[in-house]
Chain A
Amino acid sequence: MPPSLPFIRLVHRNLRKYRFKIGLSITIAILVLSLVSQYIAPYPREGLGYVPVGEESRRLLPPSPQYLFGTDTLGRDLFSRVIMASRSAIIQAFSVVFLSLIIGLIVGVLAAYFKGLVELVLNYLTELFMAIPSIVIALFFRLTLEAGFHVVIISLVTTWWAWYARITYVYAKGVVELDYVVLAKLSGLSPAKIIMRHVVGVIIQPILVQAISDLGSALLEASGINFMGLGLPPGYPDWGVILYEGISEMGIIAFTRAPWLVFYPGLFILLTTLGFTLLADPLREDLDPRLRRRWKLWF
């Protein structure tokens, strides 16, 4: 018997798709890696940023069986650092998307359901926060707060929720005028129940799919902020920070003398983002019939 929740049914329906399988395997692999990396990393202390003392000879070694991805400018094992950074990637991507989704859903549905002034004000706020680049917000917070996850997450959420508010608003606007919602109102159901059961329940699927595919964009943007040195402190295991350290220590010469410093962290960002994208794309096609491949041409 197929599962009853619509979203699980949607996933179930797509399980046999090739792309979906690849996306799911990459995502699960990164999730597992983020949980176990600290136990399987050959140099877990260096992975967390500890600089080995008195071992200058270990600096900038090329990849070898002992140091799978080579070592960085401070002599740390790059493999340990890169795999342990999967954790910060997962934390940032998921918390940014989750928080933005919650805020955006609430604002979007309220704007669509309560018309008039509420709609006007909430849409204005949405427009306002959509217009601010998150990197500048990150710079603001970084100038006043200590470096850390909160800088990245707050600055991304500040701008991202507006996108979910916008799409929720558009979907909800199409639903609130339908007869069954009007009838529910007439029958005296409380607004909270109508919104939860008859509005959010109906429109949630495409928004969830959007959220899954946004996990990748969130990771890219968070990495960009960390790469600029605006988010997590130096030494923290994060792909953006590792890239930043590789490039800022040596300038552009870093790629020419030690390409592995740049290559591996970027490759992991690419793979993780790709995983999320491949996961979401088949679901989106399934939900949006316009994207399905059923074309018949006239010539």
Chain B
Amino acid sequence: MPVSLNYIFKRILLSILVVIGVIVFSYILLLYTPGDPAVKWAGNPRGPEARKAIEIARRELGLDQPIHVQIAQFIYHVFTGNLGLSIAYKVPVSQVITSGFTATLELLIFTYLLAVPLGLWLGIYSALRRGSRFDSFIQSLSVVLASTPTFWLGAIIALISYSTTGFLPYGRVSYKLATSTGFNPITGFYLLDALIQGNYAVFLDALLRIIPPALAISVYPIGVVARVSRTLVAEALLEDYVRSAVAWGVRRNTIIKHFVLKSIIPPVIQISGLAFVYSIVDAMVVESLVFGREGLGSILLDSLHKADFRVTIALAIYLTIFYISVNTIVDIIQASIDPRVKI
């Protein structure tokens, strides 16, 4: 294994430092944006119970203590997942966030399982036929699609689906169907749950509802992966080892599969990981307002409308932790499969 434990250790240490930085930054935002932090933490309560709620919030945050103690306490609460009850949902914040994450992750993983292979194929194919009509079509299409707002594209897809088939993709699954067939979410990944229970009607329904938003979100990763892999393949084809292989009489397909493809996999993994964390925000916007799915996006909107500061902060922190973990994992994977990365 070419990667040293030293590198992995350093990389993880940096990530932990960044996570702690983000938590401190969030806490500072809570304290120093306009308004009393205790009032914000209690969710701007009104009525006779307000005074009591604010007192409780003040005690929870420990606002009477020195600031470093507050921050240390806050970091401890974040890592133990103990940020109190959500104002909007009346359940623990960690539970709200977890359910949102599973819903959004289901959509994103589904999207990426389709998008990355497709993008890779498009990129390789157009690199091998550079200058052809197919290549220039894909090139122009990718420029246009990269400029398309995802939420708008989602709306157009929903409109097309409705006007051609009369089916409006809304929500994650039809509740009528789910209750009548006794569908019972276990993991929160509905597609997986339906398969485990052998509930094919619900599986099909969930699949039909996940495809349109996935199409809209997939535009970005497909474009990125296609562009990067096209450039990489085009460069790799100019390398000496390809020339030698051609001279030895190695078959064309073997060269592409065994030499060229192997050399572009690490950077493609890295770029997909980067695109993945970007797509989270895309998914949040598309799933909630356009397709009415529950997920991180709907949690964000609810926390805005109900001034649910705990959920906002938890969302910021856990989303960032997720971002950083994906990046770290991708870096480590890349370092361990690409012998050229020397640290």
Contact = CB atoms under 8 A, between A and B. Distances in A.
Report whether over half of chain A's contact residues are helix, strand or loop; otherwise say mixed: helix
Contact of B22 (A131, A134, A265): A131
B172 interface: no
A290 to B, nearest CB: 7
B33 interface: yes
Interface string B232-273: 001101100011001000001001000000000000000000
A274 B142 CA distance: 11
Contact of A133 (B151, B156, B312, B320): B320
A140 B29 CA distance: 8
A126 to B, nearest CB: 10
Contacts of A227: 149, 151, 285, 289
A221 to B, nearest CB: 8
Interface in B275-317: 280-282, 284-285, 288-292, 297, 300-301, 303-304, 307, 309, 312, 315-316
A37 to B, nearest CB: 20
B134 to A, nearest CB: 16
Contacts of B156: 255, 262-263, 266
Nearest to B312: A139
Contacts of A229: 301, 304
A152 interface: no
A291 interface: yes
Contacts of B26: 140
B154 to A, nearest CB: 10
Given A124-B17, A244-B289, A298-B242, A255 B158 contact: yes
A284 interface: no
A178 interface: no
B78 interface: no
Contacts of B153: 266
A297 B243 CA distance: 9
A124 B19 CA distance: 11
A128 B22 contact: yes
Nearest to B127: A295
B170 A252 contact: yes
Nearest to B34: A144
Contacts of A127: 14, 18
Given A139-B304, A229-B301, A223 B149 contact: yes
A252 B14 CA distance: 43
Contacts of B237: 295, 297-298
A124 B14 CA distance: 8
A172 B146 CA distance: 29
B40 A277 contact: no
Contacts of A263: 156
A172 B162 CA distance: 52
Interface in B310-343: 312, 315-316, 319-320, 323-324, 327
B25 interface: yes
Contacts of B95: none
A128 B315 CA distance: 16
A256 interface: yes
B284 to A, nearest CB: 7
A141 B33 contact: yes
27 contacts: A127-B18, A131-B323, A131-B324, A132-B316, A135-B285, A143-B307, A143-B312, A144-B33, A144-B35, A220-B147, A224-B281, A228-B284, A228-B285, A228-B297, A228-B300, A243-B151, A243-B152, A247-B290, A252-B168, A252-B292, A255-B156, A262-B152, A269-B152, A274-B143, A295-B238, A298-B237, A299-B252
Interface of B: 14, 17-18, 21-22, 25-26, 29, 33-35, 40, 130-131, 143-144, 146-153, 155-156, 158-159, 162-163, 168, 170, 231, 234-235, 237-238, 242-243, 246, 252, 255, 280-282, 284-285, 288-292, 297, 300-301, 303-304, 307, 309, 312, 315-316, 319-320, 323-324, 327
Interface of A: 124, 127-128, 131-137, 139-145, 216, 220-221, 223-224, 227-230, 243-244, 247-248, 251-252, 255-256, 259, 262-263, 265-266, 269-270, 273-274, 277-278, 281, 290-291, 293, 295-299
The 3 closest A-B pairs by CB, nearest first: A266-B152, A273-B147, A144-B33
